[in-house]
Amino acid sequence: MPDSVTLTIFVVLLLPGLVMAIVPGLPGLLYMLVIAVIFGLIDHFTHFTLGNLGILAAITAVAMLLDLFSGIIGAKWGGAHWSSIMYGLAGLIVGSLVIPVPIVGGLAGMFLGVLFAEWYRTASIKKANKAAIGSFAGSLVGMIGNGVAAAAFFTLFIIFAWP
């Protein structure tokens, strides 16, 4: 049985996952799931059961899908062509590497990638702007959704693991 010190250590270890969950491209919830598995192994899945772990794994899977597809769905909703979406994803990666603040860099990179690719493809700044705003809005929805999922994961972990 884990004592309160062990539980406190694992709760503190989960905190970086809350921050990582809202940064595009960082596996915050996957990190949190690994921490939960380690805790379960220490607990021998006595208080923190495999069923509890399954619930947290489901939250993680849904959040990862949301993170993966939210910007793409937003761009498609805005009218972007698939090739422009690919440039947007490339922009997300480059933007995250170039701009020190990953949230800003990733969002700006995706926005600019879709904007310029769609502008080049259609020669219409109005269509390009609509597609880029769609990708930006979708990415924001994904970030908010991941933040909510991480908060739910964190709260449920405490509830499940509490002796």
pLDDT at 89 over 90: no
Q: What pLDDT score does 54 carry?
A: 95
First to last CA, the chain: 8
DSSP string, 122-162: HS-HHHHHHHHHHHHHHHHHHHHHHHHHHHHHHHHHHHHH-
Q: What pLDDT score does 1 carry?
A: 54
pLDDT per position as a tens digit, 108-138:
888 898 998 999 888 889 899 999 988 888 8
pLDDT at 102 over 80: no
Q: What pLDDT score does 2 carry?
A: 65
Locate the domains of the chain by residue range: 4-161
pLDDT at 103 over 60: yes
Q: Which is it for the CA torsion 70, 72, 75, 76, positive or negative?
A: negative
- The one-letter amino acid code at 40 reads G
Q: How far apart are CA 127 and CA 129, in angstroms?
A: 5
Q: How far apart are CA 149 and CA 62, in angstroms?
A: 9
CB environment 57-69: b (16+ within 10 A), e (fewer): bebbeebbebbee
Which comes out higher in pLDDT, residue 139 or 153?
Answer: 153
pLDDT per position as a tens digit, 20-75:
888 766 788 999 999 999 999 998 998 889 999 999 999 999 998 887 788 888 88
pLDDT at 80 over 90: no
Q: How far apart are CA 89 and CA 106, in angstroms?
A: 9
Q: What pLDDT score does 82 carry?
A: 84
Which comes out higher in pLDDT, residue 115 or 163?
Answer: 115
Q: What pLDDT score does 55 carry?
A: 96
